[in-house]
């Protein structure tokens, strides 16, 4: 199991909480319009650890998953109907680049890499919607 997996878990937990501060507006990411809101399971590809469950209320936070609800500026690099890439910077917290490929409203692939807590991270997740948030 990679050390970055443990680092990601705290960021994943933050997504289920409504953000206290809004991130600066970014251009709409067309691919995220295809993501259903609700309870999702994220399974790290190539890892035997059980999937983590998160509540997705704002799909754009998936693009900065490792940085949770940190206030980050975002730059949309690729903006297609089923695929999108965002580069983001979070002053004092790091930066990253994430690419999402939406297969359906209930299934996506997410790849992200960057720097958080002064350490590099690199992960790939498959997300499946499993219901509504409680």
> Residues 86, 91, 94, 97: what is their CA dihedral angle, to the nearest 10 degrees?
10
Q: Hey, is 65 helix, strand or coil?
A: helix
Tens of pLDDT, residue by residue over 9-49, are: 334 444 443 444 454 455 689 999 989 899 999 999 988 88
Tens of pLDDT, residue by residue over 59-110, are: 988 998 888 888 899 999 999 999 999 999 999 999 999 999 999 999 999 9
> Taking the CA atoms of the chain, what radius of gyration do you get in angstroms?
13
Q: Which of 111, 64, 112, 113 is nearest to 90 (CA)?
A: 64
CB count within 10 Å of CB 63 equals 27
pTM of the shown model: 0.76
């Amino acid at each position: 199991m990679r050390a970055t997996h443990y680092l990601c878990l705290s960021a994943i937990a933050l997504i289920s909480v409504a953000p206290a501060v809004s991130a600066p507006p970014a251009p709409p990411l067309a691919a995220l319009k295809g993501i259903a809101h609700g309870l999702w399971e994220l399974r790290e590809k190539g890892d035997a650890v059980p999937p983590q469950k998160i509540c997705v209320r704002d799909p754009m936070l998936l693009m900065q998953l490792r940085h949770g609800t940190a206030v980050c500026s975002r730059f949309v690099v690729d903006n297609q109907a089923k695929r999108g890439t965002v580069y983001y910077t979070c002053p004092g917290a790091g930066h990253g680049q994430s690419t999402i490929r939406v297969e359906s409203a209930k299934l996506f692939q997410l790849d992200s890499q960057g720097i958080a807590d002064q350490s590099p991270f690199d992960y790939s997740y498959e997300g499946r919607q499993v219901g509504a948030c409680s």
